[in-house]
Amino acid sequence: MHTTKVTKVGNSSAVIIPKEIMDKLNLRQGDQLYLDTDKQTIKVSACDPNFIADMELAEEIIHQDREVLNKLAQ
């Protein structure tokens, strides 16, 4: 586990992400991150949770309707 501090940047606040984590998640400066909160927890994700849910639904539909999709592809 890594620790970091909230720092002041102009009129905003920022959290410094250690280089090791940036490299592990293949992040670069300027990349968009997604934040969510749950009680006393801040969740930071490099992937859009809505996109992930949409892709899981698409995979389920593809699996269920494989025969129909194969016929449409012909």
Domain annotation for the chain: domains and CATH numbers: 6-73 (2.10.260.10)
pTM, full prediction: 0.55
CA distance 59 to 71: 17
In DSSP terms, 41 is beta-bridged to 38
Q: What is the pLDDT of residues 41-57, one digit of tens each?
A: 988 888 777 777 778 88
pLDDT band (50, 70, 90) for residue 61: confident
